Structure formats: C-alpha cells, structure tokens
C-alpha cells in the first residue's frame, strides 16, 4: 500500500513540475560571470510561467537567481535584466508577446550613460514544438556577449551585442 501511495504521489507531482529551457548564456567584457536566461513552462501545455536570470562564477557556482515576471515583458517598463546606479542597463520588452507562442522581443540597452542614449536589438522568442528558442535574423542563438562602450577607459554603456 505504501508503494502504491508513493507512486501515486510521484506521478501526480510530475504533472505540475515545470519544464526549464536555457535560452541564452550571456557574458561581457567587464567580469567573468556567466548569466543564464532561462524560461520555465508548465508541463501540461508548455506555456511560459516565468523567466529566470541565473548568474554563475566562471567555475559554475551560482551567485544569484532572480525570477522575472512574465507579465512585465509587455509592460512599458519591460523586464529589467540589469540595473545599476539607478539606470536600467538592459531591458527586455515586447508588444506582441504571448505565453503560448512567444513573440517579437526587443533588447533595449544603455548605449551611453553620459548622454543617456539607448540602443535596441530585435530578437524573437519562438516555440518549436515542445521546445523554446531565441532567434535573431532567423537564426537560433544560444550565446550573447555584451561589448562595452568606454570613454577615457571607463565603461559608460553597451556598445554592441554579439550573438552565436
């Protein structure tokens, strides 16, 4: 009887366990940390429940893990991925996002903190059957490297985003 109950509990708990999809590994020139942008879905219909931003040391030790609210992506503020000195450094937003199929996304970066100018990069979050992928210009990307904009040797923003 105990084995039956254990099996029943195990099977029913698997129905509510979410699927995790690593969308992007993000690096930069400033430090050696690696940030993983992860999407979490429910197993029943693979709809997006949440995003996670997990930051690791170069040796793989978890430094921080932040849950990012899915509903913020369509808000005017978007999902703030990085904020420093009261400035939004990287923001992710969309005008047509849907939890069941993704949408066109925009990565909005602080290009120059002195002039407060910003630069945007289009990407697509697409559902591929039971999987989720990020695409840029029709090609699946899994890595993103942030290139620093420097003035007099000091980082003032993000000059470019390189993808693979």
Domain ranges (residues) in the chain: 17-163
Instruction: Name the 3-class secondary structure at 140.
Output: strand
Q: What are the φ/ψ torsions at residue 78 (nearest 5 degrees)? A: 70, -170
DSSP structure class, residue 18: P
Per-residue pLDDT of the chain (164 residues; tens, 9 = 90+): 333 333 333 333 333 456 999 999 999 999 999 999 999 999 888 899 999 999 999 999 999 999 999 999 988 889 999 999 999 999 999 999 999 999 999 999 999 999 999 999 999 999 988 899 999 999 999 999 999 999 999 999 999 999 99
pTM of the model: 0.83
Residue 123 to residue 94: CA distance in whole angstroms: 10
């Amino acid at each position: 009887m105990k084995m039956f109950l254990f099996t029943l509990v195990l099977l029913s708990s698997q129905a509510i366990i979410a699927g995790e999809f690593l969308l992007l590994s993000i690096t930069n020139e400033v430090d050696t940390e690696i940030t993983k942008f992860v999407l979490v879905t429910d197993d029943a219909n693979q709809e997006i429940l949440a995003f996670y931003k997990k930051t690791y040391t170069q040796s793989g030790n978890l430094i921080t893990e932040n849950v990012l609210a899915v509903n913020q992506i369509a808000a005017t503020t978007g999902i703030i991925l990085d904020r420093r000195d009261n400035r939004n450094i990287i923001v992710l937003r969309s005008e047509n996002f849907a939890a069941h199929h993704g949408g066109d996304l925009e990565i909005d970066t602080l290009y120059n903190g002195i002039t407060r100018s910003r630069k945007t990069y289009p990407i697509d979050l697409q559902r591929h059957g039971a999987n989720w992928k990020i695409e840029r210009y029709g090609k699946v990307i899994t890595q993103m490297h942030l290139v620093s904009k420097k003035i007099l040797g000091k980082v003032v923003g993000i000059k470019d985003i390189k993808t693979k």
